[in-house]
Structure 1
Amino acid sequence: MTAPYSGGCVCGAVSLTISGEPIATRQCWCRQCQQLAAGGPTNNAIFKAEDISIEGSLGASTWTAASGNTLTFHFCPHCGTQIYAQSSARPHLMTVRIGALASGHGLKPEAVIWTEDAPEWAVFDDALESWPRQPPPPPSAA
């Protein structure tokens, strides 16, 4: 499938529409993502912020990531569904949780990042680009 993409939270209080294609798709095994994802990785699609429209109220939580950047995660305050994250290093981008997109979107991770933080039982797809820590920004993210 191609843009536009749509999605939202589990309870329906938040919806999103994305008019552009992702700049990158990644699976992240950093420690914070493991905590957010109940022990596994998060699966994310990075879009230009200008391509995303969100309806509904969001909660937010902010902390300093291992990369040294400040990350802000946005979620539905009613059901807790994670919608997107933004990094202080690239505020013009939004990292959307692939699980917040409506089924049939066709997106999947193209790279695995922060593999050095992954637990010993983690399994990585050898066909994907792999980074032990923070990768360089996507080419069109500058």
Structure 2
Amino acid sequence: MTRTASCSCGRLRVGCEGEPQRVSLCHCLACQKRTGSTYGIAAFFREQDVVTHGRSSLYVRQADSGFRVTFHFCPDCGSTVFWKPERLPDLTAVAAGAFADPTFPKPANAVHLESRHSWVGDL
């Protein structure tokens, strides 16, 4: 199975072969700022199962773990589509929402619960 994630304008795409190694929900403040939502959801695929198409701009930041994360976003529409976490060099993280697939696997874990908005999950 191949899934395709893309930015809002469709110029930056990522093809992912097979199932994600894991899907995680992150409540950290950096993910909240990056997504404009109360959390981010990352699908981690083996690097060799990911093929990118189109141009991307980069943003590098240090994670709470001390490792760097390199985000790839569309230079035209600004959507973050995928990122490379230095602490997981064999994996590529893809924004789960960029697949625009309501049948996509749900997260198996959540991290940075200390930053979770109190109302998340109440709706």
Q: Shared fold by TM > 0.5?
A: yes
CA RMSD, 1 decimal:
1.7
Structure 1 segments of 4+ aligned residues over 4 angstroms from their partners? none
**Structure 2 CA distance for aligned equivalents of residues 42 and 71 of structure 1:** 14
Q: 1:6 aligns with which of 4, 10, 27?
A: 4
**Structure 1 residues 63, 40: CA separation in 2 closer, same or farther (over 3 Å shift)?**
same
In the superposition, relative to structure 1, how do residues 5 and 105 fare at CA in structure 2: closer, same or farther (>3 Å)? farther
Amino acid at match of 2:30: Q
Higher relative contact order (CA 8 A, sep 6+): 2
Deviation at 1:26? 0.7
In structure 2, the gaps of 5 or more residues are none
Tell me, in whole angstroms, the C-alpha distance in 2 between the residues paired with 1:35 and 1:46.
Answer: 20
Per the normalisation by structure 2, the TM-score is: 0.90
Which residue pairs with 2:16 in the alignment?
A: 18
CA contact 1:5–1:102 (8 Å) conserved in 2 = no
**Partner secondary structure for residue 66 of structure 1:** coil
Structure 1 residues 8 and 39: CA distance shift in structure 2, 3 A: closer
Identity %: 30
Query: For residue 34 of structure 1, what is the amino acid of its counterpart?
Result: Q
Does structure 2 retain, via aligned residues, the 8 Å contact 1:13–1:76?
yes
| Unmatched tracts of structure 1, length 5 or more | 126-142
Q: Structure 1 residue aligned with 2:29, among 31, 34, 56?
A: 31
Q: Between Structure 1 and Structure 2, which shows a larger proportion of strand residues?
A: 2
Q: SS state of the match for residue 60, structure 1?
A: strand
Aligned to 1:112: 110
CA contact (8 A) 1:63 1:71 kept: yes
- Give the alignment of 1:62-73 within 5 angstroms: 62-73=60-71
